[in-house]
Structure 1
C-alpha cells in the first residue's frame, strides 16, 4: 500500500509541474513520501 501512495504522489507531483495544480502542496507531499520511503529502507521489513 505504501508503494501505491508513493506512486500516486509522484504522478500528482509531475502533473503539478505540467498544469501547476495545487502549488506547493504537491512538493510537501513528495517530501513526506520520500521521508517515509527512506525510513522504510532503513528499518527494513520485519
Structure 2
C-alpha cells in the first residue's frame, strides 16, 4: 500500500514539473488517500500487536 502511495507521489511530481495540472492533482489526491489508509492500518496493527493474548 505504501508502495502505491509513493508511486503516485512520484507521478504527481513528474506531472507537476511537466505542467499537467489535472494529472498532477489527480495523482496527488490518490497518493494522499493511499497514505492515509496506510497510516490508519499501521496504527491499527500497532494497537492490535500490543494487546495481550487471551
The verdict on a shared fold, with TM-score over 0.5 as the criterion, is: yes
Gaps of 5+ in 2: 49-54
Coordinate RMSD, CA, aligned: 2.1
Larger radius of gyration: 2
Alignment partner, residue 9 of structure 2: 10
Gaps of 5+ in 1: none
- Under a length normalisation based on structure 2, what TM-score does the superposition of the two structures give? 0.53
How many residues align structurally? 44
- Under a length normalisation based on structure 1, what TM-score does the superposition of the two structures give? 0.58
Shift of 1:18: 0.9
* Greater helix fraction, Structure 1 or Structure 2: 2
1:27-46 equivalences under 5 Å are 27-43=25-41, 44-45=44-45
Greater shift in the superposed pair: 33-42 or 6-15? 33-42
